[in-house]
Amino acid sequence: MRKYIFGGNWKMQLPTIKLATETARLIADLMSTVKGVEAFIAPSPNTLFEVGKTIEGTDLKLAAQNMHFMRQGAFTGEVSIEGILEAGCEFVLLGHSERRRIFLENNEDINKKVKLALDNDLKVVLCIGETAKERFDGLMAKVNTDQLSGCLEGVNGNQLKNLIVAYEPVWAINNMYLNPGIEIKAATVEEAIESHKIVRGWFDEIYGVAVADKMRIQYGGSMKPSNASELLRQEDIDGGLIGGASLKADSFIAIMNSI
């Protein structure tokens, strides 16, 4: 049995320590109403340390939204693994579509980050997903499996116990910079089932059935209390990576409680 896992990706939406710690405290307090799930929040880097202190000792875990692939050095504006471990992070999001498409990270960069994290016992939430055009052109499976093979190059099956995949179709992410001019909506259950099967199938083919069976695959992209339960009922959907609906404690908790 795979345990459901939910992540709140706060992006740059709760940008001050006051906003971030208040929201974190509310969510942490309400975690007592949720049973049988694992949950983390990924606050802005400048708030990470204080949020970490706020939720220390609660059931809510801490994630960073990104990190550099080097431990230390002359990299203006970047965040080191040392800093995020010091802040108390158990997880790091890597390869989010906003990083790939707005900040032009490629699979090779992400692969270096994945290895650095896994080698240092930091759990990775590896985000993958195709754009609307790629899906329209029939490239959904290829784009996602290429991202998996590029980002996981040289990672062995044993290390994958510390990896979670977030399948987030770019066209479903509530972000007008990623999706100019298109109507943004969550994947239908059928679309999500098809993609999640492809992702699990890739793990089966490359790493074998034991790894594939244990791999937790989150769905992300406009998940909210009104559509969560139908998505989460599907065999290959093991939780959610949630942006907008994780910024308010009650909607984030309602999503978790819809399992």
Just list the catalytic residues.
96, 168
Residue nearest to ligand PGA (CB): 243
Q: Per rule CB under 6 A, is residue 9 in the interface with ligand PGA?
A: yes
Distance (Å, rounded) from C-alpha 48 to C-alpha 85? Answer: 10
Nearer to ligand PGA, 92 or 212 (CB): 92
Binding string to ligand PGA for residues 201 to 240, with x set by CB under 6 A, is what? -------------------xxxx-----------------
Distance (Å, rounded) from C-alpha 255 to C-alpha 10? Answer: 15
Residue 238 to residues 16, 36, 59, 165, 259, Cα–Cα distance (Å): 31, 12, 18, 10, 10
**Binds ligand PGA by CB under 6 A, chosen from 45, 95, 129, 244:** 244
Q: Which two tokens stand for residue 22?
A: 């208040």
Shortest approach of ligand PGA to residue 245 CB, angstroms? 6
Taking alpha carbons only, the member of 222, 231, 170, 225 closest to residue 196 is 231
**Binds ligand PGA by CB under 6 A, chosen from 38, 105, 168, 238:** 168
Asked if residues 3 and 216 have their Cβ atoms less than 8 Å apart, the reply is yes
**Binds ligand PGA by CB under 6 A, chosen from 228, 242, 255, 256:** 242
Give kind and range of the element (H or E) at residue 22. Answer: helix 17-30
**How many CA atoms, within 13 angstroms, populate the side-chain half-sphere of residue 85?**
14
Please count the residues of this chain forming the interface with ligand PGA, following the rule CB under 6 A.
13
Binding string to ligand PGA for residues 134 to 163, with x set by CB under 6 A, is what? ------------------------------
Asked if residues 79 and 64 have their Cβ atoms less than 8 Å apart, the reply is yes
Distance (Å, rounded) from C-alpha 253 to C-alpha 30? Answer: 7
Shortest approach of ligand PGA to residue 218 CB, angstroms? 9
Residue 18 phi/psi, 5-degree rounding, is -60, -55
Nearer to ligand PGA, 164 or 212 (CB): 164
Q: Per rule CB under 6 A, is residue 21 in the interface with ligand PGA?
A: no
Beta pairing partners, 216: 164
Q: Per rule CB under 6 A, is residue 195 in the interface with ligand PGA?
A: no
Q: Per rule CB under 6 A, is residue 63 in the interface with ligand PGA?
A: no
Q: Per rule CB under 6 A, is residue 13 in the interface with ligand PGA?
A: no
Contacts to ligand PGA by CB under 6 A: 9, 168, 173-174, 220-223, 241-245
